[in-house]
Structures are given as C-alpha cells and as structure tokens.
Amino acid sequence: MPDAASSGKPGVKGRPGLAALPPLSVYVHVPWCVHKCPYCDFNSHEYQGELPEQAYLQALQADLEQAVPDVWGRPVSTVFFGGGTPSLLSPEAIDQIISLLRATLSLSPDAEITLEANPGTAEAARFQGYAQAGVNRISLGIQSFDDDKLRRLGRIHDAAQARAAIGMAQRAVERVNLDVMFALPQQTLAQCAQDLREALAFETGHLSLYHLTLEPNTVFAKYPPPVPGDELSAAMQDQVAELAAAAGFERYEVSAYARAGQACLHNLNYWQFGDYLGIGPGAHSKLSFQNRIIRQARAKMPEAWMRLVHEHAGRHIVEQRELGHQDLGFEFMLNALRLRHGVEGGLFIERTGLSLMTLLPAMRRAVDKGLLQPGLDRVQATEQGWRFLNDLQMEFLP
C-alpha cells in the first residue's frame, strides 16, 4: 500500500510527521495557445493547425496512471484545467479526461471542476459541451473591455467577443470567473474604473483582478511598454478594491474577489498549503506523505513530455525534491499570507508537521515591523503587511 494511504506516525529524524494528509486537488495543463501574449510567462506554446489531441490524451493517461501510487485512495476535491488555452480542446477531449479522472482517482461527486477559456475560442456549443462533460466553473481571460488595450496586450479577442463569451459561459455553468488586468500600457485611472464597472455589470460570482507585471523572459520584459508609474498603479489598486467591495465582493486573497460562497476552492487549497497533483507538460505537484513532503515538475515542452511519459516510468518527471524544515516554513507562509484573513495557527502544524515555534524569530521580526498580527492562534498579515506583502514574505525566507 502506498505511503499516501498510511496513517500518520512520528516522522523520521529531520522530516515532518503528519497526523493526516491535506486535501488533494488535480491540475491538468493544456500547453497550447493560438498566440503567445507578450506578458505571459506560463508554459504555453503557439500551435497552428489541428492540435495533436489524441496523442495528448494518451500521454495524459500514462502520466496519471504513473502518478496513482502517490495519491492512492485519497479523495480529490477540485480539478483545474489551466494553460495555455484549455478551451482549444474539444468537449469530447475534456469529457475523456474527466472520465479518466473519475475512473482512476477518488474524485468527489460534487468536485469543483474549473476550465480556463479564452474569449477568442468561445463557442456556445463548445461551452455547453464542457458543462455536459462535468465542468461546473469557467474562468474567462477577459483582461480588458477596451479594444486598444487588448491589442496592446496581444490578445486574440476584442471587447465584443469578450462580452459574448461571458454570456455563453453564464448560460453553460453557474459559476463564472472573469480575469481582468489593470495598470495596462497607457491606461488612465478612468479607463481602469470603466473596465471594472463593465466586469461588475455581468454579476458573476468571482473576479480575479491582476496588476500587470513585466515578468522575466517575456516580450514585455525585453521591450517594456509605457505602463503606469507606482503612484498611479497604487491608485488603481485602491480604486479596484473599493469598486469591488461596493458591489458586494470580498477581497479574500491578493488578486481574488468573490461573492459569498463563490471563492475558488482549488486556489484556496493552494493557499492553505494543501496538496495538488499536476499532470501534463510542465505541471508541478506538491504531495504529502506520512513522513515527507515533495515537489515535482514535469518536462515543459509538449513533444518531450509526450515522448518521455511513454518511456521508462518517471522519465517525464524532470525535477523532484523533498522539502526541508526551512523550505516548509517559507513555502507555507508564502501561500497563507496571501489570504486576507490568514489561517489558523494550527493549520501550520497540521500541514507541515512542525511547530510554529520554528518560525517564532521571523514572526517576532514581522510583528515588530507592523507587518504581522501578534499571537499564534492566527497567522495573518496586518493591513500594512498585506500592502507590502513581498516584504512580509521575505521575513520567512530561509
């Protein structure tokens, strides 16, 4: 019987001992997109013509079957199809994948199943097909309702297609998220407000509101566009938070806003240091066992992943490491501090097998700087700590 099914026992020297394993999610990576956006640093690859859908599905099955021993018997509470552009896959392919997950893993009947979609690939029949396959939450990469800003971002859709896609998604599933960016090239405060007001008008249950960042190894990093300065960007952030709050949204995570009962359960599991199995090219996993916690990464290039996964078992996993005590403390805080209300102190013990006392020096420093709320019952950033989250998280860096 695999470790994952074992009951908790004291850990061996230098390793955590978990009394119970955390919730488990599954992430499915679809690596292809029509066009690589200049700000995107995700593992996505432009593909022209018909996707190698069947080869991908066969490789995904092989990937999952090899991973089963690590998660045997554990219930799966959420599934997330990310990319790339998962909506490039046919509804039949999504149906095959969900059926495979149900046949192979203990997927909860009421599991949250999210699929990311690009408005430029949206079709009403396609969305209905995804829903029939089991998808019950759609996340749309809107980014803006301003055609000029969409062109500057390299998006393949326009504002009219974005509006149409939202309607299609809402008719297909009950839970819809809109991704919207601010601090866009040459964006004004008024334009930022207009984008958000239009997003709010659709009355979806969830919004992901992101500050555009110029990530390394992207076109925007090499050729930076004229983006708003720090002062204007901060004003946009405050405006976004105020407008969302006035519309009944709670900002429960740095970039996530939800109406009551609409928080993304998959992402909450990440931030609460739950486990996740990532399958597909470039997918990452964090898996807990009785006496150790590991991270894995799969081969990034789709062709290499599809080849390696059929060769000697495990060849497609190009990185695997066990998290040490200091790694665990930093990674837990890196995630938990993103939540507006933090987490209970006992969750650190439950998810790492360590005592909060191991973080006490760093916690005291953060409290003294006004970045962290005092006390061990709850790990939570102050208002200042949340505003300067990177500074707070760095206090826990090994």
- Residues 216-274 have pLDDT tens digits of 999 998 999 999 999 999 999 999 999 999 999 999 999 999 999 999 999 999 999 99
Neighbour-count burial of 318, counting CB atoms closer than 10 A to its CB (0-12 exposed, 13-18 middle, 19+ buried): middle
With a cut of 60, say whether residue 13 has pLDDT above it.
no
From residue 229, alpha-carbon distances to 183, 184, 188, 226, 390 in Å are 8, 11, 11, 9, 18
Same domain, 158 and 241: yes
Residue 294 falls within a domain, yes or no? no
**Entry pTM:** 0.94
Residues 258 and 342 in one domain: no
Q: Is 298 a member of any domain?
A: no
**β strands within 238-355, DSSP E:** 250-253, 256-258, 275-279, 284-288, 293-298, 317-322, 343-344
* Residue 16, pLDDT score: 58
The CATH number of the domain holding residue 188 is 3.80.30.20
Output the six-digit token pair for 55: 């080869």
CA dist., res. 80 & res. 60, Å (int) = 14
pLDDT at 262: 97
Verify that 126 and 51 share a domain, yes or no: yes
Residues 395 and 265 in one domain: no
Q: What is the mean pLDDT of residues 345-367?
A: 95
Instruction: For residue 275, tell me if it sits in a domain.
Output: no
| Percent over 70 (pLDDT), the chain | 96
For residue range 135-190, list pLDDT tens digits in order.
999 999 999 999 999 999 999 999 999 999 999 999 999 999 999 999 999 999 99
Asked whether residue 382 falls in the same domain as residue 242, the answer is: no
Res. 10: pLDDT tops 80: no
Are residues 186 and 123 part of one domain?
Answer: yes
Q: Do residue 38 and residue 165 come from a single domain?
A: yes
In the listed set 223, 254, 270, which residue is the last one of a domain according to the structure?
270
Q: What pLDDT does 389 receive?
A: 96
- Domain's final residue, options 227, 251, 270: 270
Q: Is residue 308 part of a domain?
A: no
Phi, psi of 313 (to 5 degrees): -50, 130
| Residues ≥6 apart with Cβ < 8 Å to 268 | none
Same structural domain for residues 252 and 116?
Answer: yes
Rounded CA gap, 212 and 44, in Å? Answer: 18
5 CA to centre of own chain: 26
Q: What is the DSSP string of 121-184?
A: G--HHHHHHHHHHT--EEEEEEE-S-HHHHHHTT-S--HHHHHHHHHHHHHH-SEEEEEEEES-
Alpha carbon distance 148, 286 (integer Å): 40
Question: Exposed, middle or buried by CB within 10 Å (0-12, 13-18, 19+), for 202?
Answer: middle
Is 363's pLDDT higher than 70? yes
Same-domain pairing of 335 and 262:
no
Q: Which amino acid is at 398?
A: P
Give the range of the structural domain holding residue 84, as residue numbers without chain letter.
3-270
At 122, is the pLDDT very low, low, confident or very high (cuts 50, 70, 90)? confident
Q: Are residues 37 and 101 in the same domain?
A: yes
- Dist CA 359 CA 362 (whole Å): 6
Residue 246 sits in the same domain as residue 113: yes
Domain count, the chain: 2
| Number of other CB atoms surrounding residue 20 within 10 Å | 9
- Whether residues 142 and 255 fall in one domain: yes
Going 143 to 193 to 166 to 280, the CA torsion angle's sign is positive
